[in-house]
Structure 1
Protein backbone atom coordinates (compact mmCIF):
# COMPACT_ATOMS: atom_id res chain seq x y z
CA UNK A 1 0.00 0.00 0.00
CA UNK A 2 1.38 3.39 -0.97
CA UNK A 3 1.91 5.99 1.68
CA UNK A 4 -0.77 8.63 1.55
CA UNK A 5 0.16 12.29 1.87
CA UNK A 6 -1.22 14.82 4.32
CA UNK A 7 -2.56 18.01 2.78
CA UNK A 8 -3.98 21.17 4.33
CA UNK A 9 -6.71 23.53 3.14
CA UNK A 10 -7.66 26.90 4.65
CA UNK A 11 -10.99 28.71 4.48
CA UNK A 12 -11.83 32.16 5.89
CA UNK A 13 -15.05 32.04 7.91
CA UNK A 14 -17.17 34.95 9.10
CA UNK A 15 -18.46 33.66 12.43
CA UNK A 16 -17.26 33.10 15.96
CA UNK A 17 -15.10 30.09 16.80
CA UNK A 18 -17.80 28.87 19.22
CA UNK A 19 -20.49 28.74 16.53
CA UNK A 20 -18.13 27.20 13.97
CA UNK A 21 -17.04 24.51 16.44
CA UNK A 22 -20.66 23.43 16.94
CA UNK A 23 -20.91 22.77 13.18
CA UNK A 24 -17.67 20.75 13.24
CA UNK A 25 -18.00 18.67 16.40
CA UNK A 26 -21.67 17.87 17.05
CA UNK A 27 -24.00 15.46 15.24
CA UNK A 28 -26.59 18.21 14.65
CA UNK A 29 -23.96 20.59 13.27
CA UNK A 30 -22.29 18.01 11.02
CA UNK A 31 -25.67 16.87 9.73
CA UNK A 32 -26.25 20.41 8.46
CA UNK A 33 -23.42 20.21 5.90
CA UNK A 34 -21.27 17.08 6.06
CA UNK A 35 -23.59 14.05 5.86
CA UNK A 36 -27.25 13.16 5.43
CA UNK A 37 -27.43 11.72 8.96
CA UNK A 38 -24.93 11.84 11.82
CA UNK A 39 -24.96 9.95 15.12
CA UNK A 40 -22.43 9.89 17.95
CA UNK A 41 -21.95 7.02 20.38
CA UNK A 42 -18.92 6.23 22.54
CA UNK A 43 -16.75 8.84 20.76
CA UNK A 44 -17.55 7.37 17.32
CA UNK A 45 -19.46 9.35 14.72
CA UNK A 46 -21.61 7.40 12.24
CA UNK A 47 -21.98 9.34 8.99
CA UNK A 48 -24.69 8.29 6.51
CA UNK A 49 -24.78 9.26 2.83
CA UNK A 50 -27.46 7.78 0.57
CA UNK A 51 -27.78 4.69 2.74
CA UNK A 52 -24.07 3.93 3.16
CA UNK A 53 -22.50 4.44 6.59
CA UNK A 54 -18.91 5.33 7.46
CA UNK A 55 -17.63 5.59 11.03
CA UNK A 56 -14.96 7.90 12.43
CA UNK A 57 -13.57 7.92 15.94
CA UNK A 58 -12.77 11.13 17.79
CA UNK A 59 -9.02 10.97 18.32
CA UNK A 60 -8.54 14.32 20.02
CA UNK A 61 -10.47 17.54 20.52
CA UNK A 62 -10.32 20.87 22.27
CA UNK A 63 -13.57 22.87 22.32
CA UNK A 64 -13.59 25.91 20.04
CA UNK A 65 -10.11 25.01 18.71
CA UNK A 66 -10.06 21.65 16.89
CA UNK A 67 -11.42 18.16 16.47
CA UNK A 68 -9.42 15.30 14.97
CA UNK A 69 -11.18 12.19 13.65
CA UNK A 70 -9.96 8.90 12.22
CA UNK A 71 -12.01 6.81 9.82
CA UNK A 72 -12.26 3.33 11.36
CA UNK A 73 -11.22 1.74 8.03
CA UNK A 74 -8.15 3.98 7.54
CA UNK A 75 -4.49 3.60 8.49
CA UNK A 76 -3.78 4.13 12.19
CA UNK A 77 -1.61 7.21 11.51
CA UNK A 78 -4.16 8.92 9.23
CA UNK A 79 -6.88 11.31 10.33
CA UNK A 80 -8.85 14.32 9.25
CA UNK A 81 -8.95 17.44 11.34
CA UNK A 82 -10.92 20.65 11.58
CA UNK A 83 -8.89 23.38 13.30
CA UNK A 84 -10.13 26.89 14.05
CA UNK A 85 -7.52 29.64 13.99
CA UNK A 86 -7.53 33.42 14.16
CA UNK A 87 -5.51 35.30 11.56
CA UNK A 88 -3.14 37.64 13.40
CA UNK A 89 -3.15 40.04 10.45
CA UNK A 90 -6.89 40.33 9.77
CA UNK A 91 -8.30 38.92 13.05
CA UNK A 92 -10.45 36.72 10.79
CA UNK A 93 -11.54 33.22 11.78
CA UNK A 94 -9.89 30.59 9.57
CA UNK A 95 -10.98 26.96 9.27
CA UNK A 96 -8.02 24.68 8.57
CA UNK A 97 -8.83 21.22 7.20
CA UNK A 98 -6.16 18.51 7.28
CA UNK A 99 -6.68 15.20 5.51
CA UNK A 100 -4.76 12.40 3.80
CA UNK A 101 -4.96 11.16 0.20
CA UNK A 102 -2.92 9.46 -2.48
CA UNK A 103 -0.79 12.01 -4.33
CA UNK A 104 -2.84 11.66 -7.52
CA UNK A 105 -6.12 12.12 -5.60
CA UNK A 106 -5.26 15.29 -3.65
CA UNK A 107 -6.73 17.64 -6.26
CA UNK A 108 -10.04 15.74 -6.41
CA UNK A 109 -10.20 15.43 -2.62
CA UNK A 110 -9.48 19.16 -2.28
CA UNK A 111 -12.36 19.93 -4.64
CA UNK A 112 -14.64 17.72 -2.55
CA UNK A 113 -13.64 19.61 0.61
CA UNK A 114 -14.17 22.93 -1.23
CA UNK A 115 -17.71 21.83 -2.05
CA UNK A 116 -18.40 20.62 1.50
CA UNK A 117 -16.98 23.76 3.13
CA UNK A 118 -18.98 25.96 0.75
CA UNK A 119 -22.09 24.17 2.03
CA UNK A 120 -20.92 24.76 5.63
CA UNK A 121 -20.35 28.47 4.98
CA UNK A 122 -23.79 28.71 3.40
CA UNK A 123 -25.39 27.05 6.46
CA UNK A 124 -23.72 29.40 8.94
CA UNK A 125 -24.42 32.45 6.78
CA UNK A 126 -20.77 33.15 6.05
CA UNK A 127 -20.94 33.30 2.23
Structure 2
Protein backbone atom coordinates (compact mmCIF):
# COMPACT_ATOMS: atom_id res chain seq x y z
CA UNK A 1 0.00 0.00 0.00
CA UNK A 2 1.28 3.44 -0.88
CA UNK A 3 2.21 6.02 1.76
CA UNK A 4 0.97 8.77 -0.52
CA UNK A 5 -2.41 10.38 -0.07
CA UNK A 6 -4.80 12.09 -2.43
CA UNK A 7 -5.05 15.87 -2.26
CA UNK A 8 -7.19 18.26 -4.30
CA UNK A 9 -6.53 21.81 -5.50
CA UNK A 10 -9.06 24.18 -7.08
CA UNK A 11 -8.40 27.20 -9.26
CA UNK A 12 -11.00 29.54 -10.79
CA UNK A 13 -10.20 30.13 -14.47
CA UNK A 14 -11.37 32.87 -16.79
CA UNK A 15 -11.66 30.90 -20.02
CA UNK A 16 -14.00 28.49 -21.69
CA UNK A 17 -13.86 24.79 -20.76
CA UNK A 18 -13.04 23.83 -24.35
CA UNK A 19 -9.96 26.08 -24.51
CA UNK A 20 -8.80 24.93 -21.07
CA UNK A 21 -9.34 21.28 -22.04
CA UNK A 22 -6.91 21.62 -24.97
CA UNK A 23 -4.18 22.72 -22.54
CA UNK A 24 -4.89 19.74 -20.25
CA UNK A 25 -5.34 16.91 -22.73
CA UNK A 26 -3.03 17.37 -25.71
CA UNK A 27 0.76 17.10 -25.99
CA UNK A 28 0.93 20.59 -27.53
CA UNK A 29 -1.21 22.10 -24.77
CA UNK A 30 0.61 20.35 -21.92
CA UNK A 31 3.94 21.34 -23.49
CA UNK A 32 2.93 24.98 -23.10
CA UNK A 33 2.86 24.90 -19.30
CA UNK A 34 3.24 21.46 -17.68
CA UNK A 35 6.55 20.25 -19.12
CA UNK A 36 9.28 21.45 -21.45
CA UNK A 37 8.27 18.86 -24.04
CA UNK A 38 5.38 16.38 -24.27
CA UNK A 39 4.99 13.48 -26.70
CA UNK A 40 2.22 10.88 -27.02
CA UNK A 41 2.48 7.42 -28.56
CA UNK A 42 -0.24 5.23 -30.10
CA UNK A 43 -0.98 3.55 -26.75
CA UNK A 44 -1.77 6.98 -25.21
CA UNK A 45 1.42 7.02 -23.15
CA UNK A 46 2.60 10.59 -22.69
CA UNK A 47 6.29 11.32 -22.20
CA UNK A 48 6.83 14.49 -20.16
CA UNK A 49 10.32 15.98 -20.39
CA UNK A 50 11.82 18.56 -18.05
CA UNK A 51 15.43 19.61 -18.75
CA UNK A 52 17.26 16.27 -19.06
CA UNK A 53 14.76 14.04 -17.26
CA UNK A 54 11.55 12.48 -18.48
CA UNK A 55 8.60 10.61 -17.00
CA UNK A 56 5.93 8.53 -18.72
CA UNK A 57 2.24 8.63 -17.86
CA UNK A 58 -0.60 6.57 -19.31
CA UNK A 59 -3.76 8.44 -20.26
CA UNK A 60 -6.32 6.29 -18.41
CA UNK A 61 -9.52 8.31 -18.73
CA UNK A 62 -10.74 11.32 -20.66
CA UNK A 63 -14.13 12.99 -20.96
CA UNK A 64 -14.26 15.76 -23.58
CA UNK A 65 -14.16 19.24 -21.99
CA UNK A 66 -14.58 17.69 -18.50
CA UNK A 67 -11.64 15.63 -17.25
CA UNK A 68 -8.32 13.97 -18.01
CA UNK A 69 -6.69 11.34 -15.78
CA UNK A 70 -3.11 10.14 -16.08
CA UNK A 71 -1.24 7.37 -14.27
CA UNK A 72 2.53 7.65 -13.89
CA UNK A 73 3.93 4.42 -15.34
CA UNK A 74 6.27 3.88 -12.36
CA UNK A 75 3.67 4.70 -9.68
CA UNK A 76 1.41 2.28 -7.78
CA UNK A 77 -1.82 1.46 -9.66
CA UNK A 78 -4.07 3.42 -7.29
CA UNK A 79 -2.17 6.68 -7.78
CA UNK A 80 -2.95 9.17 -10.55
CA UNK A 81 -3.12 12.84 -11.35
CA UNK A 82 -6.26 14.31 -12.79
CA UNK A 83 -7.53 17.57 -14.24
CA UNK A 84 -11.26 18.22 -13.93
CA UNK A 85 -13.14 21.16 -15.36
CA UNK A 86 -16.20 22.19 -13.37
CA UNK A 87 -18.67 25.04 -13.63
CA UNK A 88 -19.73 26.87 -10.48
CA UNK A 89 -23.51 26.82 -10.34
CA UNK A 90 -23.54 30.05 -8.33
CA UNK A 91 -21.12 32.16 -10.38
CA UNK A 92 -21.05 30.16 -13.64
CA UNK A 93 -17.25 30.41 -13.41
CA UNK A 94 -14.98 27.68 -14.77
CA UNK A 95 -13.05 25.84 -12.03
CA UNK A 96 -9.94 23.75 -12.65
CA UNK A 97 -9.73 20.92 -10.11
CA UNK A 98 -6.42 19.08 -9.79
CA UNK A 99 -6.17 15.77 -7.96
CA UNK A 100 -2.76 14.32 -7.21
CA UNK A 101 -0.97 12.06 -4.75
CA UNK A 102 1.94 12.91 -2.45
CA UNK A 103 3.36 11.89 0.89
CA UNK A 104 1.80 13.93 3.66
CA UNK A 105 5.01 15.84 4.38
CA UNK A 106 5.39 16.69 0.67
CA UNK A 107 1.87 18.02 -0.01
CA UNK A 108 2.84 21.63 0.78
CA UNK A 109 5.82 21.53 -1.61
CA UNK A 110 3.77 19.78 -4.31
CA UNK A 111 1.00 22.37 -3.91
CA UNK A 112 3.54 25.16 -4.44
CA UNK A 113 4.83 23.41 -7.56
CA UNK A 114 1.28 23.10 -8.92
CA UNK A 115 0.63 26.78 -8.15
CA UNK A 116 3.74 27.77 -10.09
CA UNK A 117 2.65 25.65 -13.05
CA UNK A 118 -0.94 26.92 -12.90
CA UNK A 119 0.32 30.51 -13.02
CA UNK A 120 2.17 29.59 -16.20
CA UNK A 121 -0.99 27.95 -17.59
CA UNK A 122 -3.08 31.03 -16.83
CA UNK A 123 -0.47 33.24 -18.49
CA UNK A 124 -0.56 31.04 -21.62
CA UNK A 125 -4.36 31.10 -21.88
CA UNK A 126 -4.62 34.79 -20.99
CA UNK A 127 -6.67 34.19 -17.85
TM-score range, shorter chain: over 0.9
What is the distance in 1 between the residues matched to 2:2 and 2:50? 27
In 1, are the aligned partners of 2:62 and 2:69 still within 8 Å (CA)? yes
Structure 2 Cα separation of the partners of residues 51 and 2 of structure 1? 27
* TM-score computed with the length of structure 2 as normaliser: 0.97
Structure 1 counterpart of 2:7: 7
Aligned twin of 2:21 = 21
Q: Which runs of 5+ in 1 are unaligned?
A: none
Counterpart Cα distance in 2 of 1:66 and 1:38: 18
Q: TM-score, structure 1 length as denominator?
A: 0.97
Q: How big is the alpha-carbon RMSD for the aligned residues of Structure 1 and Structure 2?
A: 0.9
What is residue 38 of structure 2 aligned with on the other side?
A: 38
Partners of 2:125 and 2:38 in 1: how far apart?
18
Structure 1 stretches (4+) deviating beyond 3 angstroms?
none
Distance 2:3 2:62 in 1: 25
